[in-house]
Amino acid sequence: MGVLESRTQIIVREVKMNQPGILVFACKWCGLIGADAAGKKRVSLPARFRVISVECAALVETDAILRALAGGIDGVAVLGCHIGGCRYTNANHASIKRFELLKDLLDTTGIGGKRLLLSFGTAHEYHQFEEIIKNFFDELAVLPPLDPWLSPFGVVS
135 binds other proteins, rule: CB under 8 A: no
Interface residue with other proteins among 31, 62, 128, 131 (CB under 8 A) is: 62
Count of residues binding other proteins (CB under 8 A)?
Answer: 94
138 binds other proteins, rule: CB under 8 A: no
82 binds other proteins, rule: CB under 8 A: yes
Assign 113 to helix, strand or coil: helix
50 binds other proteins, rule: CB under 8 A: yes
Q: Is the distance from CB of 22 to CB of 48 less than 8 angstroms?
A: yes
Which own/partner pairs from 143-149 qualify as long-range (CB within 8 Å, at least 24 positions apart)? Answer: 143/74, 143/112, 143/114, 143/115, 145/74, 146/69, 146/72, 146/74, 146/111, 146/115, 149/69, 149/70, 149/111
Binding mask 93-122 for other proteins (x = CB under 8 A): xxx-xx-xxx-xxxxxxxxx--------x-
Rg (CA), the chain: 16
Interface residue with other proteins among 30, 31, 68, 136 (CB under 8 A) is: 68
- Smallest separation, CB 14 to other proteins (Å): 7
67 binds other proteins, rule: CB under 8 A: yes
